[in-house]
Structure 1
């Protein structure tokens, strides 16, 4: 336990002074090794960093990143947004609802909350400001909707959990569909209430079937991509990694040869951006794996299991304890890092009291998605802050109602497992 305390103390100290999370995890691991009573050669560190990422399923991450980049390089993103406008843009709080629905569609393609938030924010925040929406509300709406990207498949955190826990990524993807929709609908209801309460915008119209049909036809090839991914995996046509490759190839072919609005010069830039994002995620995964290996070597999971079960073996109470741990972790850690560290520690406890590992993964990912909009390190907040040019204090006040609503969604998903698990049995 002393080793764990030393490692955790170094980790939080480094994070407190602004050291990047991956570097903090590595140095915390080094401190833990040095504090151990057992001799651990430091050559183990680079070995563990490399071998922890030597995983075929993790190749899905760069492919889905590349899919998102190809989508935004051509007109697929604009066509999806146009369909969202035709679907919900005519109701009260229309632009806020369009932002949320567009994020839900984008979530089914890239799997990255940061990428979706940036893409939708650049399109929608300026439009919402022009229509009279408060800057803070516009930014908070986009940031909150961006969290759906890590719940609705394909989800990069779910891929990380699947690899770490050794469970079916296809089942995780399927189990994330309904929770993602629940979160999206709850955000849209909150949008309506806040807009009406503060009279941000009075735009309202009527549903135009002609426009809806036209945008559906124009965007059909883009909108069908999430279905190709899900049904391809569930139907056993390809693995999640192969699904990522197929999705990237599909996005490239449709944009380049069907829509004909992607230039050849866009391709290297798309690869570069996807490569940078992938490197960031994989570096964090490698560092978190090293840290998790240290904790496992010191038998922290066994000690934690004994501690938790000595308090209670009630499944509902343990789920509540897990959610508190995940929520706190999400405030400070990247989702991939939190998953890699916490899964080996807490999954044995969950399975010991009869919690399905797929369901446990869904609860963890949904909870950690809230961390994208919680201070102090909520990534989505910093993205929209730069786009909207709004103060951090104002943004925190605006996003607080969304955090509260998403916590209620989390509790609903946690204590009614059938909402997420019934599709996995189909």
Structure 2
């Protein structure tokens, strides 16, 4: 009987998402159906699970890093890093497109939020790219896709969530994310070069750079660029936990505002309001998804799924392929953080049963869920970017095809070349 109740709860959740009910309400509804229809426990447990799901100490890192990223945008950091990226790529084909990718990579180490990164670059860079002759569709797709790098570069919110759910070292995930983030960055820069060469977008400038241009822009950007080093170094030597590193990031962001003379009381108040709103939206999803994950665990769904898969699939690489296809389908319809909280308790034990390294599987999982942000019909990065740039959704999806091919190639590399995920971790740890 209980299996039918679980199925009904899952159907309710998916129907709510399909009809664009807010994600946290959809997950609440699925969990509530379970308690109303078949659970022997009191529905009061639902409220307890929602609250306890948000009270994990590692999750405190989320509001801290979000706040630090918001303050970075108010202290002129973004502008200085963009000038540095522009100086580096000045003589490359597709100059502003390359700036777009590099800026996402460097800002990923500061903000941790892909949606914030996409919105910021859509406002700052897309109009400039259009003036330089890039199409609106290409500029929008590149902005959304490059924002995928943000959750992969520490301190990505996805890594904090995964680590707290699966009991995996968040510090190791941060280090692993550097390699994967750089892989995606380089891949996107190569694709931008190919497309720009073919379409004649901003051919490489032949005149030499001004003397000391790169050095000057680097000196202006060096203090913000030190933040990821401070975070990972502090965690590695044991000076701070990932949660405490978030508070260090906030203090560092405020100090930068003082150094650059660009922080005001008004900016601080606006930044705090923005941080609270963003954190609340994430934690509501975390609370609801934690309750639903508890339902699945209570009914021993993870254990049954592990037994079913391992008894029918005897090759770990075939398992990884099936996981990729499954997560891609899930990512098309369910917001990444919600899907992660529900699915990680299901799939992580199965991966462990196949002997797959926990860091390797974590980075593959996080990457595939990040791809969901740029896949229709629920791709959040699509809607955020197109909402700012006013790009037509159909034109966006058509322009995305070569980017989807690239993401699939990178995905397979991560799945079948574990050293890309674990090499840097083994070196550092």
Scaled by the length of structure 2, what TM-score is found? 0.96
Distance across 1 between alignment mates of 2:206 and 2:171:
40
Aligned partner of 2:334 in structure 1 is 333
With over 3 angstroms needed to count, the CA separation of the structure-2 counterparts of 1:93 and 1:43, relative to structure 1, is: same
Secondary structure of the residue aligned to 2:115 is helix
1:392 and 2:393 correspond: yes
With over 3 angstroms needed to count, the CA separation of the structure-2 counterparts of 1:207 and 1:57, relative to structure 1, is: farther
Aligned partner of 2:162 in structure 1 is 161
Contact 1:372 1:381 (C-alpha < 8 Å) held by counterparts: yes
Distance across 2 between alignment mates of 1:3 and 1:304:
17
Q: How does 1:11-30 map to 2 (within 5 A)?
A: 11-30=13-32
Distance across 1 between alignment mates of 2:148 and 2:32:
33
Instruction: State the number of aligned residues.
Output: 424
Choose 320-329 or 279-288, whichever is displaced more: 320-329
Secondary structure of the residue aligned to 1:176 is helix
Q: How does 1:34-183 map to 2 (within 5 A)?
A: 34-36=36-38, 38-183=39-184
With over 3 angstroms needed to count, the CA separation of the structure-2 counterparts of 1:207 and 1:71, relative to structure 1, is: farther
* CA drift at 1:218: 1.2
Distance across 2 between alignment mates of 1:228 and 1:299:
41
Distance across 1 between alignment mates of 2:34 and 2:325:
25
* CA drift at 1:206: 4.8
Q: Show structure 2 runs of 5+ residues with no match.
A: none
Contact 1:59 1:241 (C-alpha < 8 Å) held by counterparts: yes
Contact 1:4 1:300 (C-alpha < 8 Å) held by counterparts: no
Aligned partner of 2:307 in structure 1 is 306
Contact 2:17 2:334 (C-alpha < 8 Å) held by counterparts: no
Choose 306-315 or 8-17, whichever is displaced more: 306-315
Q: How does 1:339-354 map to 2 (within 5 A)?
A: 339-354=340-355
Q: Deviations over 1:77-116 (max 9, x none)?
A: 1001010001113211000000000000000111111011
Contact 2:331 2:369 (C-alpha < 8 Å) held by counterparts: yes
Q: How does 1:211-250 map to 2 (within 5 A)?
A: 211-250=213-252
Choose 114-123 or 129-138, whichever is displaced more: 114-123
Contact 1:70 1:252 (C-alpha < 8 Å) held by counterparts: yes
Distance across 1 between alignment mates of 2:218 and 2:401:
34
Aligned partner of 1:377 in structure 2 is 378
Contact 1:6 1:35 (C-alpha < 8 Å) held by counterparts: no
Distance across 2 between alignment mates of 1:274 and 1:401:
35
Q: Show structure 1 runs of 5+ residues with no match.
A: none
Distance across 2 between alignment mates of 1:370 and 1:303:
28
* CA drift at 1:35: 3.0
* CA drift at 1:357: 1.6
Scaled by the length of structure 1, what TM-score is found? 0.97
* CA drift at 1:266: 0.4
Aligned partner of 1:188 in structure 2 is 189
* CA drift at 1:150: 0.7
Distance across 1 between alignment mates of 2:102 and 2:200:
21
